[in-house]
Amino acid sequence: AQKITQTQPGMFVQEKEAVTLDCTYDTSDPSYGLFWYKQPSSGEMIFLIYQGSYDQQNATEGRYSLNFQKARKSANLVISASQLGDSAMYFCAMREGHAGGGNKLTFGTGTQLKVEL
C-alpha cells in the first residue's frame, strides 16, 4: 500500500480563491509527522507546514493551514487567497516514528497547482 497518496495530479484555482490539496497517509506507527513542501520549477523543495501526530490543533502558517483528520488519516493542505506565485508542484510527506531518529520522509507523487487570473 502507498504510504502517502495524493489523488489530484493537477488542480486549477482562481487568484484570491482558496484551494485544498488532498493527502491521505497510511502508517501503523502512533508517532509520526506530516509535512507539505512546495516545489517550483527551479526544483528546490520549500517547506510549508508541519503537523505532528500528537498535535491537538491543526497547524497554520500564514496562508497555509493543514486540515488534519487523524481518524481518516488525511492531512489536506489549504491555501487561502491564492496568488500567482503559488503555482508549483506540492508534495505531502510523512515521517514515521519520533523525529529523534531523523526526518526520513516518504513523499507522495505530488499535485501540480496552477493559479489563474
Partner 1 sequence: GAGVSQTPSNKVTEKGKYVELRCDPISGHTALYWYRQSLGQGPEFLIYFQGTGAADDSGLPNDRFFAVRPEGSVSTLKIQRTERGDSAVYLCASSQSNTGELFFGEGSRLTVL
Residues that bind partner 1 (CB under 8 A): 4, 37, 42-47, 50, 91, 93, 99-110
Instruction: Give residue for cell 493527502.
Output: 23
Residue with smaller CB distance to partner 1, 18 or 99: 99
Helix, strand, or coil (residue 60): strand
Residue with smaller CB distance to partner 1, 11 or 105: 105
Q: How far is the CB of 17 from partner 1 (least distance, A)?
A: 26
Cβ-contact 46, 25 below 8 angstroms: no
Residue with smaller CB distance to partner 1, 64 or 107: 107
* b/e sequence 62-93, b meaning 16+ C-beta within 10 Å: eebbbebeeeeebbbbbbeebeeebbbbbbbb
Q: How far is the CB of 101 from partner 1 (least distance, A)?
A: 7
| Sign of the CA dihedral running 64, 22, 39, 56 | positive
Separation CA 34–CA 70 (nearest Å): 11
Residue with smaller CB distance to partner 1, 67 or 109: 109
Q: How far is the CB of 80 from partner 1 (least distance, A)?
A: 22
Q: How far is the CB of 99 from partner 1 (least distance, A)?
A: 4
